[in-house]
Chain A
Amino acid sequence: MNAPLRRVAVACMVLFGLLLVNVNYLQVVKGSAYRDDPRNGRVLLRTYEQQRGAIALGTGGGRQALARSVATGDRLKYLRTYPGGPVYAHATGFFSLVYSSTGIERAEDRILSGEGDELFTRRLSDYVTGREPKGGSVVLTLQQKAQQAGYDALGGRKGAVVALDPKTGAILALVSRPSFDPATLSSHDPAAIRAAYKRLSGDPDEPLLDRALNQTYPPGSTFKVVTSAAALTSGTVDSPQTVVPAPKELLLPQTTRPLRNFGGETCDPSGKQPLINAFAISCNTAYAQLGLDVGQDALRKQAEAFGFGQADLEVPLSTATSVFPADVNKPQLGQSAIGQFDVRVTPLQMAMVAAGVANGGDVMKPYLVREVQAPDLSRLDVAKPEVLSSAVSGDVAKQLTEMMEAVVERGTGGNAKIDGVRVAGKTGTAQNATGKAPHAWFIGFAPAEDPQVAVAVIVENGGSAGSEATGGAVAAPVARAVMQAVLGR
């Protein structure tokens, strides 16, 4: 009987071998994925055991907490509170027992929870000295006045505001409306959290959606900045003063219905005008023709140089990808050149376009976290501005600035004027769903000679189909309010 017995022994060892291999796979290979799975309540429970770091803005005496943990008497020792409230909700995100976390709460969790590698020595000394471990804090680039101005100026309308420091890429304002109160999702009462979440996620106005970073829209005429950049860079036109055709109607190749200007207006009685004038009054026929002349490859290349098509842009919040459509035919190219058809952009992307022009052609990588700090507020890491891409040459940037100033001075963007400040901008009125009012856009920067702030504003369905100027009328005042707040005027 010993021969089969030996085989049984081998079989037993194989079974144990399989078990050992499997637990190694489970606990080593899959371990971290299971540990960090949002459905795994264990880690979340443990994160409530120690004080989570704060999310703040400002420095020194101006430091203001947007999110902080306060001690409670119940089983979960600390409650997350949001002094920043709905104004900062999309930046901070929420920190929920039931629905995991979003925003900076998620993106900077390793710092806030105190588990990051940066805090290793700190944890070690906490362990040795018996001090209760705490999380580090995260200081945002947001400026309180700019954020509040954008939030108030949008008011009850749906839309978003992004303001950037064009020289560094620091995000000065990040507003999305409607908003929500993160505290309702971050309480210790799962039933209340579920009810609040159900209400928010079921709301047709989508308050949980961060429109500034995660929603894409047709850019409308604000895209003409990109088309102009492509035309000037490629040499299709020599300067803003070059006269270009601007007919009343433009019959695009292979189509029967001509492309018209807003309200069927005439751009210039002569049927042609200098590029700067076509830009200032946002002449569609002139720009559709210009797009055809530039060609889709040059146009797409220019859009990508401003940041379109970059799928992994994180600020560190993840962002939706802005796209210029692939393989368009002639009529589609004409439509794309004026920001219609399938061109889709985030408000952040359009702020980057304005900031790129403002910064002499270099687009800086946008970032929301200025500094991370240890629990004792000592500095662990500070953001270093990086150039994301070089979109246009310094000369072309100057020409674009001149054209954008004309928009505010004497064109569609008059509502963005600020006394004593040279403001550059571009309005947009983007058609979207039929039967709905177009989106109102404004992008711009100020002061034109030494830009301190670049901004993009969208008001969903805020325009009127009749007139291009309405885009400027609705969105430009919001942009002006934010720029004024940054410039202190």
Chain B
Amino acid sequence: MTAAALPPAGTVTPGPRTRRGTELLLVGFAVLIAVLAYAAVGLAQDDRIPSGTLGYGGGLAALFLTAHLAVRRFAPYADPLILPCVALLNGLGLVLIRRLDYDAIERAKARGRALPGADAPQQLFWTGLGVALFVGLLVVVRDHTTLSRYTYTSAALGLFFLLLPNVPGIGRTINGARLWIRVGPLQVQPSEVSKLLLILFFAGYFVQKRDALALAGRRVLGVDLPRARDLGPVLLAWGASLLVLLGGNDLGSSLLFFALFVVMLYVATERTSWLLLGVGLFVAGSLLAYRVIGHVQDRVDIWLHPFRDASGKGYQLVQGLFGFGTGGISGTGLGEGSPGTVPFAKTDFILATIGEELGLVGVMAVLLLFALIVERGLRTALGCRDPFGKLLAVGLSFALCLQVFVIAGGVTGLVPLTGVTLPWLSYGGSSIVANWVLVGLLLRISDAARRPAPSPIAPDTARAVLEDARTTIVRRS
């Protein structure tokens, strides 16, 4: 920003604008909001600014400043808006979990039970790990195209993680869904990791096969159908996601993977027929799941008639809706509501806490932050010059969009509820870490996309230069 604002006299092309200064300013702003919110929670609970405010603020500032410096050094042209948005969401998430810790302690006191441990420090630790991986990724992966080498490794690992919770002994069933594993003292939700791995796989695979997959078969009703032999992978993906669903009742992940697959295939081949086919298979799969799986029927029934069994099956959703309603437009204020009434308020239903205490204003702000990240991610895809990076960026952005839609729509009663986390806000190590890696990948691609074109010299000259030159390994980074 500084260099570009005042180009030195005589320069024909202005210097590239990295906008790192903007990013730093916005990250600072995000930290400030989070610290003020943290203080507000303490003021509401104990009528004084909580003693940890300085440490908390300092910790957050240090973490996000590290992230910013890593971007400045290793991905200088990356989009300047994504990191501040993520920092704000993450900071706010920590405040909300801290607030729900208070609530849980108060409830335990009232019932005379043992006081539960605080989750906020855990979440701060996970945030730290997430930022560390984010930085590590930017340092190690200097060129995202190198990742396409690991296409099939990603596929194998992704499927492995996806199916891991079904392994007897380490798999754990929580809230009716089998999507956790237990390793020692840690609970891990491997589907968050496999989400990233599978996006990598899809991007690599489709870039390789897009020509074959784009070949037209028969034309029916004005739509070119794909060749029958190319249907294999689609059916495989469909079958795999159904398997995930049947095996673990993990409705959210199943839907996410299949939609990702179809959308990335559509973008890679530019063939609407794949999209139609995917929607058809989705409808068929949904109907099948509804018929066969009681868990799915329950979810749909609760969605259609949340108040029919308001104190039983519909309790969670109804309490969530009451939370949103109680919050109204401006909310009760941080620390002034009783968001702990909603089961799983720290994870799936964290948006209900926002709705109750920060009101419609808070919920809209959070949704718009997500929309902004998704929009910047898709813009990265548009600007990216290589097909692998393009597909990867679409996959990452769309995955984020769909995940937010599924869980935010679920808790607000727009769609049937499926258990996925709200990225960066929900409590949970796997989710936090995986989503920081997701941002890292996005910023890495964004850096390449926004980097000025490598050669400003005329094509003819370039060819001449190239023909004269000795064969060398050229790196673009």
Write the residues of chain A forming the contact surface with B, with a CB cutoff of 8 angstroms: 1-6, 8-9, 12-13, 15-16, 18-20, 22-24, 26-28, 30-35, 37, 39-43, 45-46, 75
Contact = CB atoms under 8 A, between A and B. Distances in A.
Given A5-B394, A16-B401, A26-B321, A35 B338 contact: no
Given A12-B375, A27-B324, A22 B360 contact: no
Contacts of A42: 322-323, 326, 337-338, 341, 356
Contact of B405 (A3, A8, A19, A32): A19
Given A1-B270, A6-B382, A8-B267, A16 B371 contact: yes
B311 interface: yes
B443 interface: no
A34 B322 contact: yes
Contacts of B375: 9, 12-13
26 contacts: A2-B382, A4-B266, A5-B267, A6-B382, A8-B394, A8-B398, A12-B375, A15-B405, A16-B401, A18-B414, A19-B412, A22-B409, A22-B412, A23-B324, A23-B363, A23-B364, A23-B367, A27-B363, A28-B360, A32-B325, A32-B328, A34-B326, A35-B322, A42-B322, A42-B323, A46-B338
B378 A26 contact: no
Nearest to A46: B338
Given A16-B404, A19-B408, A31-B326, 18 more contacts: A1-B391, A8-B394, A8-B398, A12-B378, A13-B371, A16-B371, A16-B405, A19-B404, A22-B409, A22-B414, A23-B412, A26-B355, A31-B325, A35-B322, A35-B326, A37-B322, A40-B325, A42-B322
Contact of A15 (B325, B337, B401): B401
Contacts of B57: none
A34 B401 contact: no
Contacts of B412: 19, 22-23, 26
A39 B318 contact: yes
Contacts of A37: 322, 325
Interface string B396-439: 01100110110011001110000000000000000000000000
A19 B363 CA distance: 10
Nearest to B371: A16
Interface string B323-336: 11111110000000
B200 interface: no
A476 B327 CA distance: 55
B318 to A, nearest CB: 7
Given A15-B401, A27-B360, A31-B328, A39 B414 contact: no
A46 B322 CA distance: 14
Contact-residue bracket for chain B: 35 or more
Interface of B: 109-110, 263, 266-268, 270, 310-311, 318, 321-329, 337-338, 341, 355-356, 359-360, 363-364, 367-368, 370-371, 374-375, 378, 381-382, 387, 390-391, 394, 397-398, 401-402, 404-405, 408-409, 412-414
Contacts of A40: 322, 325-326
B329 A27 contact: yes
A6 B267 CA distance: 9
Contact of A8 (B355, B367, B378): B378
Instruction: Give the top 8 A-B pairs by smallest Cβ distance, nearest first.
Output: A34-B325, A40-B322, A27-B360, A16-B371, A12-B401, A9-B378, A15-B405, A22-B414
Given A2-B382, A13-B375, A34-B322, A41 B329 contact: no
Given A3-B270, A75-B110, A28 B370 contact: no
A40 B359 CA distance: 17
A4 B414 contact: no
B326 A19 contact: no
A165 to B, nearest CB: 42
A31 B318 contact: no
Contacts of A31: 324-329
Given A19-B367, A24-B360, A39-B311, A12 B322 contact: no
Given A6-B382, A8-B398, A28-B360, A19 B409 contact: yes
Nearest to B311: A39
Contacts of A39: 310-311, 318, 322
A28 to B, nearest CB: 6
A19 B405 CA distance: 7
Nearest to A23: B363
A35 to B, nearest CB: 5
Contact of A16 (B318, B374, B382): B374
B82 to A, nearest CB: 15
A16 B404 CA distance: 9
Contacts of B378: 5, 8-9, 12
A28 B398 contact: no
Nearest to B356: A42
Contact of B325 (A3, A24, A35, A41): A35
A401 to B, nearest CB: 54
A116 to B, nearest CB: 17
Among A1, A20, A28, A39, residue most surrounded by chain B Cβ atoms (within 10 Å): A1
A12 B398 contact: yes
A27 B359 CA distance: 8
Nearest to A45: B338
Contact of B326 (A1, A8, A43): A43
B43 to A, nearest CB: 13
A30 B325 contact: yes
Residue of A5, A13, A33 most packed against chain B (CB within 10 A): A5
Contacts of A24: 360, 364
Contacts of B360: 23-24, 27-28
B355 A23 contact: yes
Contact of B374 (A12, A20, A35): A12
Contacts of B263: 8
A27 B374 contact: no
Nearest to B400: A12
Contacts of A22: 409, 412-414
Given A27-B363, A39-B318, A16 B328 contact: no
A174 B408 CA distance: 51
Contacts of A9: 375, 378, 382
A28 B361 CA distance: 11
Contacts of B398: 8, 12
Nearest to A3: B270
Nearest to B318: A39
A235 B341 CA distance: 67
A30 B338 CA distance: 19
B367 A16 contact: yes
Contact of B329 (A28, A34, A43): A28
Contacts of B368: 16, 20
B310 A34 contact: no
